[in-house]
Amino acid sequence: MDSTTLEVDGSVMEGGGQILRVSAALSCITGTAIKISKIRAGRTTPGLRPQHLCGLQLLRDLCGGGLDGAAIGSTEITLNPGKITSGDHLADPQTAGSVGLLLQASLPCALFTDASTQLCLKGGTNAEMAPQIDYTVKVFKPTLEKFGVHFDCDVKMRGYYPKGGGEVLVTVNPIKQLSPITMTERGTITKIYGRAFVAGVLPYKLAKDMSTAAVRTIRREIKDLYISIPSLQEKDQACGNGNGIIIIAESSTGCVFAGSSLGKKGVYADKVGIEAAEMLLRNLRHNGCVDEFLQDQLIIFMALASGTSRIRCGPVTLHTQTAIHVAEQLTQAKFTISQSDDDQTNNPTFIIECQGAGLSNPHL
């Protein structure tokens, strides 16, 4: 192995696919060769799963690099990045692997090209243990715009477990340099809305039951806002059977939060609605500006930005700590986490501050 290759331990902290996504993306952007070992060592099925392999192959294609050791079940890979180029790229794990996670890995790289890039991402649009595509569009996308990042997301087909079959076309515009963000004042919650859906052969009543239960749960804590969660039956734009709900809350200062849940065999629809509502409420009880799922997704962009970024959040998640660990390994960014001392609620908030590496796009 070349002495300039950086070694990344894939078993530390969160120890899952996130280490792969963040380290491989930063490898491509910084031009640093990496060797990742002990991949997903603590999982019941260690090593690369189809969606991880597909994400790595997409990054390899984006940066015209070399990828060694990449196979299903592999616990060690080496990525030698080349030059990131624009163009059309396809990623299809042939499973219900998350489209949102494929985008997490590839989006940062696509920002550092010479022209707009189109990513055709296939798999599960609404998958367990991953951001639903609705979260990507309604929460992640508007927050990234604060960094100066712009991308379009066109959901051609929704796909559900176990078959997948979803398809999302993402067009990413390159950027010269990311701007730092400050998200420390939440203001008041001004709007709550969402969507409850069924697809395939599942009855429409499930969507109505999820919506009704979610609204009832939120009403117990938030009484003065109109809550709109329409029930939808997806027919032509969905592959397979699925049901779920996502609920979005917006604040007066432009912060966006969400709670979501997917139906499972044997689980009553109202329980799915309640779970999503409680997830949203949990993230509104503290005075933070990002929810527990957005935290870690912002770290790589804070690390790449020029200048100091600050975000206020609830308890810092293990995923966020892991993303910080990897970002500091692969860039010159420096993070600090401190408990906010001006929070009057019983739910403490924290300030994540980052002195960004200020990486510039060499093609613009």
Between CA 147 and CA 249 the distance in angstroms is 21
Helix/strand/coil (H/E/C) assignment for every residue in the chain = CCCCCEEEECCCCCCCHHHHHHHHHHHHHHCCCEEEECCCCCCCCCCCCHHHHHHHHHHHHHHCCEEECCCCCCCCEEEECCCCCCEEEEECCCCCCEHHHHHHHHHHHHCCCCCCEEEEEEEECCCCCCCCHHHHHHHHHHHHHHHCCCEEEEEEEEEECCCECEEEEEEECCCCECCCCEECCCCCEEEEEEEEEEECCCCCHHHHHHHHHHHHHHHCCCCCCCEECCEEEECCCEECCEEEEEEEEEECCCCEEEEEEECCCCCCHHHHHHHHHHHHHHHHHCCCCECCCCHHHHHHHHHHCCCEEEEEECCCCHHHHHHHHHHHHHCCCEEEEEECCCCCCCCCCEEEEEECCCCECCCC
The total number of residues written for the chain in this structure:
364
Q: Is the pLDDT of residue 237 over 90?
A: no
- What is residue 343's predicted lDDT score, i.e. its pLDDT? 59
For 43, the token pair is 């999982």
Identify the band that residue 3 occupies on the pLDDT scale cut at 50, 70 and 90: low
Between CA 176 and CA 122 the distance in angstroms is 28
Q: Is the pLDDT of residue 40 over 60?
A: yes
Q: Which of 150, 319, 325, 363 is catalytic?
A: 319
pTM of the model: 0.97
- What is residue 42's predicted lDDT score, i.e. its pLDDT? 81
What are 53-94's pLDDT values in tens digits?
999 999 999 999 999 999 999 999 999 999 999 999 999 999
For 67, the token pair is 């990828």
Q: Is the pLDDT of residue 254 over 80?
A: yes
Q: Is the pLDDT of residue 304 over 70?
A: yes
Q: Find the largest Cα–Cα distance for the chain.
A: 62
- What is residue 235's predicted lDDT score, i.e. its pLDDT? 83
| Catalytic status, residue 89 | no
Identify the band that residue 2 occupies on the pLDDT scale cut at 50, 70 and 90: low
What are 136-190's pLDDT values in tens digits?
999 999 999 999 999 999 999 999 998 999 999 999 999 999 999 999 999 999 9
